[in-house]
């Protein structure tokens, strides 16, 4: 029996997010996709939630996309912007191999925030998006009034991200949608199949030959050898993190290997007046494992609208 090709409308799945999280759903939220040119012929995309000026900027991790924040955004109910990092989601690839460099990404993201959310009360950055946000806060401080790091510190290294690297280093294409979904289920045993299917729909694309690929694989420059998280070395960002002149909060997943006790100790040494929150029973992607808890942390950190 031939597998039916799944239909996809990126704005038609929010009711599933709400139902799974137990959130009320009175109808589709106001969300639009924007594309902004950050260099000649190269655009970065973002989802803009709500019609009012955005109060938050959300930046995802490596291999993810802006839809990773959907349930968090529904729970918050605030106007916000969720950015697709360069080379991810609907954003174009840079034309060199420096795409994993947070400094390069931060300048692109800064252009997006300056146009879409210049007065946002806080930036929330997860994993690679968090590293990018650290650079953003130091190079473009006028755009970052508070910074929430989701399960990331400059102490990240290849050993801590080996599981992530193993997942992202898989096949470049898959014969069917079910194959790409099954690989995702294999690496995310604690998540529901429905949530993972939704995530794969947002993060994959069917190619002209009928095979499937991750969005971050499509159009990847040939000069690059791939999305290798194990190469990430953010140790130099400790000094940058220490220099940030606004409040910084670190949210750590209790089951995540990416932020360990030594990282927390170094964070506290560098920023003794800032807070660390542990999210129980969460892995690295707190926004996927515990979205309501993360939304509450964001609310507490940012305060009333």
Active site residues: 127, 151, 284
Cβ(204)–Cβ(212) below 8 Å: yes
Question: Taking the CB of residue 250, how many other CB atoms lie within 10 A of it?
Answer: 24
Q: Comparing C-alpha atoms, which of 100, 95, 33 is closest to residue 67? A: 33
Q: Which value, to the nearest 10 degrees, does the dihedral of the CA atoms of residues 276, 282, 283, 289 take?
A: -120
User: DSSP letter string over 64-128?
Assistant: --GGGGHHHHHHH-S-EEEE--TTSTTSPPPSSSGGG-HHHHHHHHHHHHHHH-TT-SEEEEETH
Distance CA 207, CA 216 (A): 13
Radius of gyration of the chain, Cα coordinates, nearest whole angstrom: 18
Report CA-CA distances (Å) from 288 to 3, 40, 67, 128, 190. Answer: 27, 34, 10, 16, 11
Q: Which value, to the nearest 10 degrees, does the dihedral of the CA atoms of residues 100, 191, 287, 68 take?
A: 60
Distance CA 53, CA 46 (A): 14
Beta-sheet strand order (sheet of 56-59): 31-39, 42-49, 80-83, 56-59, 122-126, 147-150, 248-253, 275-279
Distance CA 143, CA 175 (A): 43
């Amino acid at each position: 029996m031939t597998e039916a090709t799944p239909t996809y409308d990126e704005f038609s799945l929010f009711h599933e997010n709400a139902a799974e999280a137990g959130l009320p759903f009175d109808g589709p939220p106001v969300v639009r996709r924007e594309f902004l040119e950050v260099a000649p012929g190269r655009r970065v995309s973002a989802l803009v939630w709500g019609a009012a000026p955005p109060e938050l900027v959300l930046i995802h991790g490596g291999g993810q996309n802006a839809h990773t924040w959907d349930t968090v955004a529904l729970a918050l109910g605030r106007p916000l912007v969720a950015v697709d990092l360069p080379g991810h989601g609907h954003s174009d690839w840079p034309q060199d191999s420096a795409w994993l460099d947070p400094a390069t990404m931060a300048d692109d993201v800064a252009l997006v925030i300056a146009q879409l959310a210049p007065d946002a009360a806080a930036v929330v950055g997860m994993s690679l998006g968090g590293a990018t946000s650290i650079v953003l806060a130091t190079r473009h401080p006028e755009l970052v009034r508070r910074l929430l790091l989701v399960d990331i510190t400059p102490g990240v290294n290849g050993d801590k991200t080996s599981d992530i690297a193993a997942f992202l280093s898989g096949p470049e294409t898959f014969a069917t949608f079910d194959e790409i979904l099954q690989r995702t289920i294999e690496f995310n045993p604690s998540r529901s199949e429905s949530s993972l299917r939704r995530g794969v729909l947002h993060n994959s694309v069917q190619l002209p030959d009928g095979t499937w690929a991750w969005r971050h694989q499509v159009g990847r420059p040939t000069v690059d050898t791939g999305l290798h998280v194990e190469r990430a070395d953010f140790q130099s960002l400790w000094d940058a993190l220490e220099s940030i002149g606004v409040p910084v909060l670190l949210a750590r997943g209790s089951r995540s290997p990416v932020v360990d006790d030594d990282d927390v100790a170094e964070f506290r040494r560098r920023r003794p007046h800032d807070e660390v929150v542990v999210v129980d029973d969460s892995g690295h992607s707190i926004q996927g494992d515990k979205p309501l808890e993360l939304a509450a942390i964001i609310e507490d950190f940012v305060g009333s609208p």
